[in-house]
Amino acid sequence: MSADVDALEFIKSHESGVLQSDLWKALNIDSRKCSRIVAKLMKENLITRELESVDGIRTYRLCYTDKSNSRRFKSLMPVMIFEPCAGCIEECEPEHCARLSEWIFSIVIGEEGSTMAEDQLEDYSKDS
């Protein structure tokens, strides 16, 4: 395995993160090589780095970034379709917005797998 992969696996294995000084010691590499590896992993958004002082010595705590939990806009995309009101320039009433209603029904269909919601959506579209 490469040192990058070893470093990432080591960081992943520590839920509370690891000190950068401990990482280079554990991997048996010098601190400069470790800094390059950390910079690469940070650039790829695989880890975060926070300044920490241990016994008066400045180091960094490295934490794995779990991409599945870092979905910033997850609540706006519950069914992989972006919420239609975000950035909308139409001046409509939310109660009568066809786009918003379709989006809400797609969530209901996705969660329940119900064909009844599809029928209601068709009926609503006919009434609009």
The residue assigned the tokens 């800094």 is: 35
Are both 9 and 51 inside the same structural domain?
yes
Are the C-beta atoms of residues 8 and 47 closer than 8 Å to each other?
A: yes
Clarify whether residues 62 and 81 are in a common domain: no
Domain boundary, last residue among 24, 41, 68: 68
Buried b (16+ CB within 10 A) or exposed e, 89-126: eeeeeeeebeebbebbbbebbeeeeeeebeeebeeeee
Which domain range does residue 54 map to? Answer: 3-68
Cα Rg of the chain (Å, integer): 24
What is the domain-level CATH number for residue 57? 1.10.10.10
Q: Are the CB atoms for 105 and 116 separated by under 8 Å?
A: no
Q: Spell out the residues 6+ positions from residue 94 whose beta carbon is closer than 8 angstroms to its own.
A: 85, 100
Same domain, residue pair 32 and 82: no
Identify whether residues 92 and 122 lie together within a single domain. Answer: yes
**Tens digit of each residue's pLDDT, the chain (128 residues):** 688 999 999 999 998 999 999 999 999 999 999 999 999 999 998 999 999 888 888 889 999 987 655 445 555 555 555 567 777 777 788 788 888 788 777 777 765 444 444 444 455 445 54
Which are the contacts of 112, defined by CB distance < 8 A and separation ≥ 6? none
Q: Same domain for 12 and 63?
A: yes
Q: pTM for the complete prediction? A: 0.52
Domain count, the chain: 2
